[in-house]
Amino acid sequence: MSVMLYYPHVSPSEAALHQAVLYWDRLATIVPAQYEKLVTPELLRLRDAGLYRPMEIERQGLGLSARGDDEPIIETALDELQRKTPPHELMPDRSDSFLYPAKIGPAIERILLNRGLAQRADPTDRFSELRVPRMVSFVVVSTLARYLADYESRRETKVVPFTDREIAHRAAHELPSRVRSSLSYEPALPSWEVELGALLPVPSPGTDLARLIEFRQRHEDERGRLILAVDMLVNGLQRNPDYPHDVYRMVSGYLADAVRELEAAGRARKITWMYRSLSVVIALAASAAGEKLVPGAGWALGTLSGMAINVATSQVRNTPYEIGQISYLARVQRELPRLAR
């Protein structure tokens, strides 16, 4: 599953940390320079274990102002926010939310200041934090996370956006009501949203991070088999959008065995498993069509451990690199119901 890029915050929640340790090669977050003072001790422990990758915009070679189609990504998202939000709700002087200029880069900083959506916490210090409305922070960081994930995936390791804040997920994916004519790529893509919570059990809250890291190291085979099985399902659905049930049938036995093996390994190590809602959004080719891709449709692919694996159709906002276009949304407060037998 490669690198999980958690957003919108610098430090992930406990649930996201658990997901990263169990099911991803590494965890990444977007950070400003000298981030060590801002992150949790748990994140520093992951870094020391080689499982955390801080991403600084200025060091990623992203260059948001260097390409003609980069800035419109942020501009289009902010256009939509300003169009549908009363102006008094976007007054930065009324907000208790802040962005670090070094986290978002100078190009986005200028955009926010020029639009009146940000003001410096200390007007005499051009490097001070930016006071911004909370929704502006979500829109900027969430849109940037999707863009950065696609950019990094084109260059080297596959990077996948992951959030447990539904408002941030919507900010990163919702389609604008009016699309800029200057965009050089298809602005909207059909997509699947697949519930994977039954396939990826997580430890109960309060589980010690050191125990999970040790479990990861001792049970790399079981963990690797489950990750491979989930990747086979996700990649199969992306490549074969007209035959989702066939894709699931081909991998369902492998999935079931892999889940059972990981669960058994965890129980042997006194880990209590839970099943929380976790959806993967899979953007498909713009040319994909068919009755199963009508937005708003939904059905069950199958069941596993007495829980449904549901799929729904929608559309998502595209990005210029069009690399993979897969992202995750964890609804950590929603435990999956077991089906009546």
Based on DSSP, count helices (H) and strands (E) in the chain, helices before strands.
Answer: 10, 14
Structure-derived torsion over alpha carbons of residues 13, 54, 27, 282, reported in degrees to the nearest 10: 100
Among 65, 12, 107, 15, which residue's Cα sits nearest to residue 335? 15
**What predicted TM-score, i.e. pTM, was given to this entire model?**
0.87
Instruction: Please provide residue 81's backbone torsions phi and psi, each rounded to the nearest 5 degrees.
Output: -60, -45
Residue 62, token pair as written in the block:
């992203």
Cα separation, 28 vs 221, in Å, equals 23
Helix (H) or strand (E) holding 76: helix 71-84
As a whole-number percent, the residues of the chain with pLDDT over 90 amount to 39
Helices 41-48 and 209-218 cross at an angle (nearest 10°) of 20
Cβ-contact 307, 198 below 8 angstroms: yes
Residue 185 has a pLDDT of: 52
Cβ-contact 120, 131 below 8 angstroms: yes
Residue 89, token pair as written in the block:
């709700």
Show the low-confidence residues of the chain (pLDDT under 70).
1, 58-72, 175-187, 285-297, 305, 318-324, 332-341
* Per-residue pLDDT tens digits for 231-269: 999 989 888 888 888 999 999 999 999 999 999 999 999
- The torsion region of residue 165 among left (phi > 0), alpha (psi -120 to 50) and beta comes to beta
* Per-residue pLDDT tens digits for 166-217: 888 888 877 655 544 444 455 677 788 898 888 899 999 999 999 999 999 9
Question: Edge-to-edge strands of the sheet including 307-317?
Answer: 52-55, 26-30, 3-6, 159-163, 326-335, 276-283, 188-195, 307-317, 298-304
Cβ-contact 281, 191 below 8 angstroms: yes
Q: How far is CA 274 from the centre of its chain?
A: 21
Amino acid at 40: T
Cα separation, 328 vs 261, in Å, equals 24
